[in-house]
Structure 1
Amino acid sequence: MHNFLPVAYFEGKFVPFEEANISIATHALHYGTGAFGGLRGIPHPQNSGQILLFRLDRHCQRLSKSARFLNFDLPADKIQSVIVDFIKKNAPTVSFYIRPFVYTSDLGIAPRLHKVEKDFFVYGLELGDYLSPEGVSCRISSWYRQEDRSLPLRGKISGAYITSSLAKTEAVESGFDEAILMNSQGKVSEASGMNVFLVRDGRLITPGFEQDILEGITRDSIIAIAKDLGIPVVERPVDKTELLIADEVFLSGTAAKITPVRQIESYHCSTHRPITDRLRDKLSAITEDADANYRDWVFKVDI
């Protein structure tokens, strides 16, 4: 059971969540012609009158760029303004997740992006841990990550997530928590909705953009934090066998934050995770506005 925030932004105005409904004939519902974002918000641990948002500007910029793939001009500052107003109207008191969504709102039946109406909505729900902070088990999916030459992977296009859904269900129904997808070249790409990191010999390694990954904002943050901490970072192709012998493996994402991997297929990962733990503690402190060096990553909303 989801606890949705009571107010949504829909068709250019704020309405009760229950009234924010689309037609069964909506173009995006049939063709996957939508793009979404996702960001977390938390009440300030020391100031009950403030909500903290992690890297709001980057999330708005990415959604604005994703909208371009739909032939939709939606400025990042417009998205940010709506999200800030959305938080003020809901005044949440617990950790929550925001889902802004751009989509083809037309009721036509032609699969196209020109001469089709578009719109933008925002809703939210209370959200604690998306994955177990103690660690997850993963299987290598039989489904492969799409290629950028056939689908714009630099955007969070809704239609692309059929592959993620297939991989996640396959993993869970075969006894695992999460799936890791390979790309068409047989290299590690990403999890069902998260980026993948591994540690070998003190170096932090992650697949690069050329491996058909989503340009994750949490991923970008972890790379920056690691470099500031003096941890060597390498972005390059990763083989499946590297995951099986890595010193540490973890997943990253807005919902997942930093989640350790404790098992891949029948291989058990080490429970000694000094770099994962160090990065996770640092990221947690930053998102709670407890690290002065990263204050510009935290957007504060007074409620």
Structure 2
Amino acid sequence: MHNFLPITYFEHKFIPFKDANISIATHALHYGTGAFGGMRGIPNPDNPEQILLFRLDRHAQRLSNSAKFLHYDLPADKIQQIIIDFVKQNKPDKSFYIRPFVYTSDLGIAPRLHKIEKNFFIYGLELGDYLPPDGISCRVSSWYRQEDRSLPLRGKISGAYITSSLAKTEAVESGFDEAILMNSQGKVCEASGMNIFIVRNGKIITPGFDQDILEGITRESVITIAQDLGIEVIERSVDKTELFIADEVFLSGTAAKITPVKRVETYQLSSNRPITNKLKSKLTAITANQDKSHQDWVYKIDL
């Protein structure tokens, strides 16, 4: 049961969440012609009258870029301001998640992006841990990640997430917490909605952008933090067998934050995760404005 924030931004105004409804004939519902973002926020531990948003500018810019694939001009600064106003309207007092969404809002039946109405809404919900923070089990999915030549993978296009949904359900129904998808070349790509990292011999290895991954904002943050700590990060293709012999494996994402992997298929991984734990502690501290580094990543909103 989700606890949704009471106010949403819908059709250019703020209204009660319960009143924000779309028609069953909405174009995006039928064709997956939408794009979304996801952002975490928390009340400032040192100031209950202030909300902290993690990397607001980057999230707004990525959604603006995603909207371009839908032929929708939605400037990042406009998205950012509406999100700020949204938070002020709701005044959340617990950790929460924001879901902004751009979509084709016409009621037509032809699959197209030209000469069709587009729109933008935002809602939010209280959100603690998305995945068990002490570690999860993963299976390698029988479903493969799409290729950029068939879908614009640089955007978070809603229609693309059918593959994630199939993979996640397959994993859970076969006794695992999460799925790991391979790309069309048979290389490790990402999880159902998270980027993936492995640690070998003190170095962090993660699939690069040429492996059809999502350009994750948390991924980018993890790489920067690792480099700050003097940990070498290598972006390259990753083979499935490397997952089984890795010293550490972890996932990253807005909802998942940094989540360690304790088992891949039948291969048990070490519970000793010094690099994962160090990165997780550092990211948590930065997000809560408890660390002096990268303070520009945290946007403060006074209620």
Tell me by how many angstroms 1:231 deviates. Answer: 0.1
Where 1:293 maps in the other structure, the secondary structure is coil
The alpha-carbon deviation at position 91 of structure 1 amounts to: 0.1
The alpha carbon displacement at 1:165 in A equals: 0.0
Letter in 2 for 1:276: T
Q: Quick one: distance in 2 between partners of 1:294 and 1:31?
A: 39
> Counterpart amino acid of 1:245?
I
Q: Cα offset for 1:178?
A: 0.1
In structure 1, list runs of 5 or more residues that go unmatched. Answer: none
Residues in 1 aligned to 2:298 and 2:228: alpha-carbon distance in whole angstroms: 17
Residue aligned with 2:210, SS: helix
TM-score (norm 2): 1.00
Aligned residue identity for 2:102: V
Task: Tell me, in whole angstroms, the C-alpha distance in 2 between the residues paired with 1:5 and 1:269.
Answer: 38
Map 1:80-119 to 2 at 5 A. 80-119=80-119
Instruction: Please state how far the C-alpha of 1:294 moved relative to its aligned partner.
Output: 1.1
- After superposition, give the CA deviation of every residue in 1:164-203 in whole Å (9 maximum; x if it has no partner): 0000000000000000000000000000000000000000
Residue type of the alignment partner of 1:290: Q
- How far 1:136 sits from its partner (Å)? 0.4
Name 1:133's counterpart in structure 2.
133
TM-score, structure 1 normalization: 1.00
Rounded to whole Å, the distance in 2 between the matches of 1:206 and 1:63 is 23
Q: What is the match of residue 291 of structure 2?
A: 291
Matched with 2:243 is 243
Partner residue in 2 for 1:53: 53
Matched to 1:122, the amino acid is I
Q: Which amino acid aligns with 1:257?
A: K
Residue in structure 2 matched with residue 143 of structure 1 by the alignment: 143
Q: State the partner residue of 1:71.
A: 71
Partner Cα separation in structure 1 for residue 269 and residue 31 of structure 2: 40
Does 2:258 correspond to 1:278? Answer: no
Deviation, 1:260, is 0.2
SS in structure 1 of the partner of residue 124 of structure 2: strand
Q: For residue 103 of structure 1, report the CA deviation from its aligned partner.
A: 0.2
Structure 2 residue 3 is the aligned partner of structure 1 residue 28: no
Which residue identity does 1:220 align to in structure 2? E
CA deviation string 1:72-111 (max 9, x = no partner): 0000000000000000000000000000000000000000
Match of 1:154 in 2: 154
Amino acid at match of 2:151: L
TM-superposed CA distance for 1:41, in Å, is 0.3
Determine if the alignment matches structure 1 residue 42 to structure 2 residue 75. no
Write the letter of the residue equivalent to 2:191.
A
Report the secondary structure of 1:227's partner residue: helix
**SS of residue in 1 equivalent to 2:198:** strand
Give the Cα–Cα distance (whole angstroms) in 2 for the partners of residues 22 and 207 of structure 1: 38
The aligned residue for residue 171 of structure 2 is 171
Q: Deviations over 1:19-48 (max 9, x none)?
A: 110000000000000000000000000100
1:199-253 Cα deviation digits (max 9, x unpaired): 0000000000000000000000000000010000000000000010000000000
Specify every segment of 5 or more residues in structure 2 that has no aligned partner in the other structure, as ranges.
none
Paired residue total? 303
- Name the aligned partner's letter for residue 125 of structure 2: L
Q: Distance in 2 between matches of 1:264 and 1:202?
A: 20
**Structure 2 equivalent of residue 209 of structure 1:** 209
Distance 1:190 1:15 in 2: 36
SS in 2 for 1:184: coil
Aligned to 1:254: 254
SS of the counterpart of 2:204?
strand
* Paired amino acid for 2:116: V
Q: Which secondary structure does the structure 2 equivalent of 1:185 belong to?
A: coil
Structure 1 residue 292 displacement after superposition: 1.4
Per-residue displacement from partner, 1:50-85 (whole Å, max 9, x unpaired)? 000000000000000000000000000000000000
1:293, distance to aligned residue in structure 2 (A): 1.7
Distance 1:168 1:265 in 2: 14
Letter in 2 for 1:68: K
| Residue type of the alignment partner of 1:224 | T
